A = this chain, B = another copy of it.
Amino acid sequence: MRIGELAQRSGASPRALRYYEQHGLIRARRSTNGYREYDEADVRLVAEIRSLIAVGFTLEDARPFVECLRSGHESGGSCPESVVVYRRKLADIDAEIRSLLARRSEVAAQLAQACPGCLFTRGEP
């Protein structure tokens, strides 16, 4: 299939697919007229990438997953390198949540100090 069909079936835009290729995440054969040609396995690869992106992974994070799939594994996450990324990501998310909670309480404290009562009363200070 060509890039348009892969785009439709994977949920990525053609632009995104070319971007993934540019960064070495997917590869395409070329037909005689220079058009990129893809197969079913690529649909799977791109779907994996999209699903990782959707939960906050970067393209670099997705790389081991793609290579895991390419090397024949059924799941992109079943290789040691992918698991490393999974765990690092969980740690990152946890750190970010802690940071947000800290910021939240700082903001709430500032609000409480600047305008006592404003935290619970909706309306004018």
A111 touches B124 (CB 8 A): no
Q: Is the CB of B83 within 8 A of A111?
A: yes
Bound CA–CA A2/B25 (angstroms): 52
Interface residues on A, range: 20 to 34
Instruction: Say yes or no: is A34 at the interface (Cβ < 8 Å to chain B).
Output: no
Whether the pair A90, B108 counts as a contact (CB closer than 8 A) is yes
Closest chain-B Cβ to A102's Cβ sits at a distance in Å of 9
Q: How far is the CB of A70 from chain B (nearest CB, A)?
A: 15
Q: A55-B106, A94-B104, A107-B93 are in contact. Are A83 and B113 (CB under 8 A)?
A: no
A55 touches B93 (CB 8 A): no
Alpha-carbon gap, A82 to B110, bound state (A): 11
A111 to B61, alpha carbons, bound, how many Å?
14
Residues on B with C-beta less than 8 A from A80 are 124-125
CB-defined A-B contacts under 8 Å, sample of 13:
A77-B113, A78-B115, A78-B125, A82-B114, A82-B115, A83-B111, A83-B125, A86-B115, A86-B118, A90-B108, A93-B107, A97-B104, A100-B100
